[in-house]
Amino acid sequence: MELRLPKDFFMGAAMSGPQTEGAYRTGGKLENIWDTWSDLSISDFYNKVGSYVGNNFYEKYEEDIKLFKSLGLDSFRTSIQWSRLMDQDQKLNPEGADFYHKVCACAKEQRIELFMNLYHFDMPAYLFRKGGWENREVVEAYATYARTAFREFGKEITYWFTFNEPIVEPDQRYRDGLWYPFIQDAKRGMAVQYHLSLAHCLAVREFQKAKEEGFLLPEAKIGLINCFAPPYTKEDPSPEDLEALRMEDGVKNRWWLDLVAEGRLPKDILETLKDSGLLPDIRPGDEQILAMGRVDWLGFNYYHPSRVQAPREKFDQKGYPKYADAYVWPEAKMNIYRGWEIYPKGIYDFGMKMKEEYPNLKFFISENGMGVEHEDRFRDKEGQIQDDYRIEFVKEHLEWILKAIQDGAKCMGYHYWGLIDNWSWNNAFKNRYGMVEVDLAGNYQRRWKKSAAWIQEVIRAREQEIS
């Protein structure tokens, strides 16, 4: 297959505020939940690198945006940090706003389309102390934050997103207990998932209001970004395996897809949750809120598929039903550094699912990338990292995307995750994703890896085709 990118197909980079900015105490920025965890237990972070540093985007945003331009990229996603934009009284922090105005102005000057996301796992600490996403007051606070952002930057940004991967916090923080505050409670996880859904809908409502009131550009669009792991089970499944597949797909994928495409949550899933004692606290009036969740388009972060089978044990340690266990496919090709399966065809299968089940919803690949440990091993004599594995990874994924488009998927673009190495939560800088290296010991200096020149060529080839 040849890599011929279609016309009008976004090619860009994805990153986030909390993973890049650093400057965690500059300009009135409040403590966020990552700072809290870093302060509490720095040894939980790889090489004891906490939330404080990012990749110094706060200082280097101009250089970075110019770098995107030089690679030929047309778009770039980052996120506003709630804890930078707003103060403790839920009012705008002018110094924080000033930073994002500068980012917007620079992107405009470089003619890079900015995709702005509002929340990327970065709850302000004072709201976390009030119960975080378990508390509906915090859902309201998020709506206030979204309203403030739409009004403040409405004339500077076309592409808005409410959340990145709302699936992650319920799992990592509340169900599997892997991230601070390390809770393992399916019921609390479900409450968080539900409140995130309401928060998304309230932000969409604020977006529509801001549009009606003339605060936004007429062409402004709102979207949601999630990591949809296309689910698979064994080749010869039992009815129990198929039930595991239904719940895995239902809770993790259909939940969000139905919400953003149809303005409701999947009925069969709510019923099963009810039978299991896991139904969240759905209040009168919520249905109307959920109905507002429809978006203009969807961001699909794709790293790996999800393979499941019937659970070995029926209940977890709290007595809630277990829906599925992981299934290790004997033929899986693994990214051993991150422990994620590499399965490029999953991106195509998702495209076909969208075509069949949500034919009116456009989407783009909002993240895809490969994190590798100890990339130093791959330096050539001139010191450049020869990341051929990354080139192969991206090429294979782009090929399957192009095939999906040929077969009718409405895929509008591709953003490479972490184009410049950045801070990956508690893994910090363990696995490097970038096509551009960041020298942590050398003042965060940026250096192209081999894949940077490769992606530049792929984009150039498209330009030649257009002209």
Q: Which residues bind ligand FCB (CB under 6 A)?
A: 16, 19, 164-165, 227, 301, 367, 417, 424-425
CB of 108 to ligand FCB, least distance (A): 25
CB of 226 to ligand FCB, least distance (A): 9
Q: Any catalytic annotation for residue 367?
A: yes
CB of 338 to ligand FCB, least distance (A): 8
Rg for the chain (alpha carbons), in Å? 21
Comparison of 77 and 187: residue with beta carbon closer to ligand FCB: 77
Q: Any catalytic annotation for residue 165?
A: yes
Cβ-based burial of 339 (10 A; exposed 0-12, middle 13-18, buried ≥19): exposed
Q: What angle do CA 291, 216, 58 make, to 5 degrees?
A: 105
Peptide bond into 181 cis (omega under 30): yes
339 φ, ψ (degrees, to nearest 5)? 75, 25
Catalytic residue among 341, 367, 375, 437: 367
CB of 450 to ligand FCB, least distance (A): 20
Comparison of 61 and 425: residue with beta carbon closer to ligand FCB: 425
Of 231, 246, 249, 230, nearest to 300 by C-alpha is 230
DSSP state of 23: -
Contacts of 152 (CB under 8 A, 6+ apart): 85, 92, 97
Comparison of 29 and 304: residue with beta carbon closer to ligand FCB: 304
SS3 readout for 259-308: HHHHCCCCHHHHHHHHHCCCCCCCCCCHHHHHHHHCCCEEEEECCCCEEE
Q: Which two tokens stand for residue 289?
A: 């809120």
CB of 299 to ligand FCB, least distance (A): 10
Catalytic residue among 165, 169, 341, 437: 165
Of 37, 372, 320, 362, nearest to 223 by C-alpha is 362
Going by their DSSP bridges, the two strands 340-341 and 334-335 should be labelled as antiparallel
Comparison of 45 and 215: residue with beta carbon closer to ligand FCB: 45
Comparison of 272 and 301: residue with beta carbon closer to ligand FCB: 301
CB of 431 to ligand FCB, least distance (A): 8
Query: Active-site positions?
Result: 165, 367
